[in-house]
Every structure is written in C-alpha cells, then in structure tokens.
C-alpha cells in the first residue's frame, strides 16, 4: 500500500508541476506537434496477480516508439522489462514487446486523455528448484492515462495498463495459470 501511495503522490505532483509549467508557457494548439514520430520511456510500479504463488510487486521499465497520425490517433510499439517475481521456491523473469493502437482526446492545449489497446509478446524464464524453462506467450493488453504537454515537443505521461498473461507449465501435468500484470507508470515522450 505504501508503494501505491508514493506512486500516486508522485504522479499527482509531477502532473500538477507539468500543468502549471505548460500554462505558464501558454502554448497554443498550433505549437503542439500533431503528427510525426515520437520516442519515450516509462518507469513504474508492477503488480503481478494470478492463480498461482507468483503474486508480487515490482518495478517495470518501458521504452516506447510511435507515430502520431494526428492529435487523435497513433500507432505505438514498446519493449517492457517486467523484472523478476515469485517466491524463494519458484521465480519468473519476464520481458516483452508490444504493438498498440493509441487514441487521444485533447481536453485543452496542454492536457489530453488517452487509451491504448494492443498485443504483448512476452518471454518468461521460469526457475523452480531444479526446473528451468523459457516460455513465449501472446496476450492482449489495455491501458489508459493522461498526458501533459510541457513544450511543443515534450510531454509527461501517467499510464495504467493491464496485461492478461498466462503462465504455462507443460511439463508439470499441463498446468496453466492465468496471471494479470497491472502496471502504473510515469514517463516522458519526445515528439520529433
């Protein structure tokens, strides 16, 4: 609970600072880059919840590349390091790539809401006692958040995403565990 409070407090403080700075600069809608490539990065909190003993809280890192067609629509790809999680007896290390459609709704010149839906391709390294295995998985995800334009090229994003993954142990009586990754993150986006 302390992690959630710290993250929410940090997100709020940064969002307010970015909003105040944006209003102080009084950007007009003509100054904001409505189309083109962008790069970004997110750092955040990851909650792993599932049918198994792998529930955990961790940090997650994400690198993003995308293309905005206009102020409402973009295509986005990312690499995410979900880190490792589990117990002393069984651990998993997960990373993956995503592709998503991102829709944005500008509220004013500096503030917008966004929603993204996409696909996650992940690789998980499992280790349980003497058992070790790599498993590839495909799953869907949905995310949403807010963006604050600091300048015409730089934005701060606060995002919450849910990834619907599964852990598979084909060698252990074909066990299959549904697991959700819930990620709250804060990031920067630079528009070219």
d(CA 168, CA 148): 39
Over the chain, what is the mean pLDDT? 79
- For residue 133, what is the enclosing H or E element? strand 131-149
Domain extent, residue 81, equals 2-191
Q: Which of 78, 86, 9 is nearest to 46 (CA)?
A: 86
Burial of 67 (0-12, 13-18, 19+ CB in 10 A): middle
pLDDT in tens, 49-81: 765 555 566 789 999 999 999 999 999 999 999
pTM of the model: 0.73
DSSP 3-state of 9:
helix
Burial of 74 (0-12, 13-18, 19+ CB in 10 A): buried
pLDDT in tens, 130-181: 778 888 889 899 999 999 999 989 999 999 999 987 655 544 444 555 677 8
Q: CB–CB of 57/46 below 8 Å?
A: yes
Here the CATH number for the domain that contains residue 112 is: 2.40.160.20
* Count of structural domains, the chain: 1
Sorted by sequence, the CB contacts under 8 Å of residue 14 that are 6+ apart come out as 156, 158, 186
């Amino acid at each position: 609970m302390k992690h959630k409070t710290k993250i929410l407090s940090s997100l709020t403080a940064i969002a307010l600072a970015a909003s105040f700075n944006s209003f102080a600069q009084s950007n007009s809608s003509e100054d904001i880059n409505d189309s083109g490539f962008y790069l970004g990065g997110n750092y955040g909190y990851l909650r792993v919840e599932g049918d198994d003993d792998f529930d955990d809280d961790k940090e997650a890192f994400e690198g993003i590349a995308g293309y905005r067609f206009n102020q409402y629509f973009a295509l986005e790809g990312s690499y995410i390091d979900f880190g490792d999680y589990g117990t002393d007896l069984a651990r998993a290390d997960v990373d993956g790539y995503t592709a998503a459609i991102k829709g944005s709704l500008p509220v004013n010149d500096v503030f917008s809401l966004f929603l993204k839906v996409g696909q996650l391709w992940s690789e998980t390294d499992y280790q349980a006692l003497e058992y070790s295995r790599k498993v590839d998985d495909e799953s869907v995800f949905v995310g949403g958040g807010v963006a604050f334009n600091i300048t015409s090229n730089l934005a701060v994003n606060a995002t919450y995403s849910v990834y619907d993954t599964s852990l598979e142990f084909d060698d252990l009586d074909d066990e299959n565990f549904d697991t959700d990754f819930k990620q709250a993150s804060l990031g920067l986006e630079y528009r070219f």
